[in-house]
Amino acid sequence: MRVVSLVPSLTEAVAVTLPGVLVGATDWCSRPADLDVTRVGGTKNPDVARIRALAPDLVIANEEENRAPDLDALRAAGVEVLVTVPQAFTELDRVLTACGAPARPGWLAEAEAAWASPPQPAERRTAVVPVWRRPWTVLGRDTFAGDVLARLGVGHVHAGHPERYPRIPPDELLAGRPDLVVLPDEPYRFTAADGPEAFPGLPCALVSGRHLTWYGPSLTEAPRVLAAALRAARR
54 and 139 co-located in one domain: no
Answer yes or no: is 146 within a domain.
Answer: yes
Give the pLDDT score at 155: 95
Q: Which residues of 221-235 are buried (b: 16+ CB within 10 A; e: fewer)?
A: ebbebbbebbeebee
Query: How far apart are alpha carbons 69 and 45 in whole angstroms?
Result: 10
Residue 175: other Cβ atoms inside 10 A: 12
179 and 212 co-located in one domain: yes
Q: Which residues pair with 81 in a beta bridge?
A: 59
Question: For 59-83, what is each residue's pLDDT tens digit?
Answer: 999 998 899 999 999 999 999 999 9
- CB 141, CB 160: distance < 8 Å: yes
Give the pLDDT score at 87: 80
Closest CA relative to residue 26, chosen from 65, 72, 83: 65
Mean pLDDT of 123-127: 94
User: How many domains does the chain contain in total?
Assistant: 2
User: Where residue 122 falls among pLDDT bands split at 50, 70, 90?
Assistant: confident
Answer yes or no: is 110 within a domain.
Answer: no
Question: pTM for the whole thing?
Answer: 0.90
Mean pLDDT of 26-41: 95
Answer yes or no: is 109 within a domain.
Answer: no
User: Three-class SS of residue 116?
Assistant: helix
Rg (CA), the chain: 18
User: Three-class SS of residue 121?
Assistant: coil
Query: How far apart are alpha carbons 81 and 84 in whole angstroms?
Result: 10
- Among candidate residues 48, 83, 104, the one where a domain is terminated: 104
**Mean pLDDT, rounded, of the chain:** 95
Give the pLDDT score at 143: 92
Question: For 174-194, what is each residue's pLDDT tens digit?
Answer: 988 999 999 999 999 999 999
150 and 72 co-located in one domain: no
Give the pLDDT score at 235: 55
142 and 45 co-located in one domain: no
Backbone φ and ψ of 130, nearest 5°: -70, 140
- Among candidate residues 48, 78, 104, the one where a domain is terminated: 104
Closest CA relative to residue 25, chosen from 73, 64, 58, 63: 58
Give the pLDDT score at 21: 97
84 and 43 co-located in one domain: yes
- Residue 67 belongs to what domain range? 3-104
126 and 225 co-located in one domain: yes
User: Where residue 85 falls among pLDDT bands split at 50, 70, 90?
Assistant: confident
91 and 149 co-located in one domain: no
Q: Output the domain CATH number for residue 78.
A: 3.40.50.1980
β-sheet with 58-62: strand ranges across: 38-39, 22-25, 3-5, 58-62, 81-84
User: Three-class SS of residue 41?
Assistant: strand
142 and 174 co-located in one domain: yes
User: Where residue 45 falls among pLDDT bands split at 50, 70, 90?
Assistant: very high
Q: What percent of the chain has pLDDT over 90?
A: 92
Query: How far apart are alpha carbons 10 and 6 in whole angstroms?
Result: 8
- Among candidate residues 78, 104, 130, the one where a domain is terminated: 104
71 and 163 co-located in one domain: no
Answer yes or no: is 39 within a domain.
Answer: yes
158 and 86 co-located in one domain: no
Q: Where are the alpha helices (DSSP H) in 46-87?
A: 48-53, 68-76
Give the pLDDT score at 199: 95
- CB 127, CB 146: distance < 8 Å: no
78 and 121 co-located in one domain: no
Query: How far apart are alpha carbons 206 and 182 in whole angstroms?
Result: 6
28 and 94 co-located in one domain: yes
Mean pLDDT of 162-183: 94
